[in-house]
Chains A and B, each alone.
Chain A
Amino acid sequence: AQKVTQAQTEISVVEKEDVTLDCVYETRDTTYYLFWYKQPPSGELVFLIRRNSFDEQNEISGRYSWNFQKSTSSFNFTITASQVVDSAVYFCALSESYNTDKLIFGTGTRLQVFP
């Protein structure tokens, strides 16, 4: 069965600190996709990144970076020099590629960045 675990329920940091959000997944598929979504206090879900299981290169986008390690089934997300606007709930998600790409979400990590 597919499963996504985000063990950190809530993280609090002070502005400018770096923070890493953990994501561990389980799947029997050899082809799968991993996602991160952000849900700010306004409630919408904002797409951040999508990676497929064949691409283990780390990715950096501005202050955001992602570390995908197949060996440990992890897809961690790091925010460098956090800002108050980064305060949100962050969801990691997994999708299979056969027939349907429904998303299996983790329980989310609430990040609070204090000034």
Chain B
Amino acid sequence: DSGVTQTPKHLITATGQRVTLRCSPRSGDLSVYWYQQSLDQGLQFLIQYYNGEERAKGNILERFSAQQFPDLHSELNLSSLELGDSALYFCASSHSGSSSGEQFFGPGTRLTVL
């Protein structure tokens, strides 16, 4: 158990809908990362937050947004969902966010868009 929690574990929804994925980092970790794992794109970095502020952005679609709250949990919002958004979404956390320490990954949220 990495100490990173993600909810829900599975999510099935329809095209055009909006969903919110939630992540709680390990106790004491200030940085949260979101990654998407899909069959065609592999494991891709989406976005990073550090202590409530956006630190880095990757290949994140404009339909997707994220935020980190004062209690350090993070949410990833996916809207106007398309079939191609079906993927495993991972959240990871680390203490500092810039010293390339180990990132601890949550179990992932599997999103299926029908």
Residue among B33, B97, B103 with most chain A CB within 10 A: B103
The one of B98, B101, B104 in contact with A100, judged by C-beta atoms closer than 8 angstroms, is B98
Query: In the complex, are the beta carbons of B43 and A91 less than 8 A apart?
Result: yes
Query: In the complex, are the beta carbons of A102 and B48 less than 8 A apart?
Result: yes
Query: In the complex, are the beta carbons of B98 and A105 less than 8 A apart?
Result: no
Query: In the complex, are the beta carbons of B97 and A101 less than 8 A apart?
Result: yes
Residue tally, chain A, CB below 8 Å to B: 26
Query: In the complex, are the beta carbons of A100 and B42 less than 8 A apart?
Result: no
A44-B108, A45-B90, A100-B98 provided; 20 other pairs, C-beta below 8 A? A32-B100, A33-B100, A43-B107, A44-B2, A45-B108, A47-B104, A91-B43, A97-B100, A99-B98, A100-B97, A101-B96, A101-B100, A102-B33, A102-B58, A103-B45, A103-B103, A104-B45, A105-B42, A105-B43, A105-B44
Which residue numbers of A lie inside 8 Å of B, CB to CB? 32-33, 35, 37, 43-47, 50, 52, 91, 95-108
**Can you report 17 A-B residue pairs in the complex whose CB atoms are below 8 A from each other?**
A43-B108, A43-B110, A44-B105, A44-B107, A45-B90, A46-B105, A47-B104, A91-B43, A95-B100, A96-B100, A98-B98, A101-B98, A101-B99, A101-B100, A102-B48, A105-B35, A106-B42
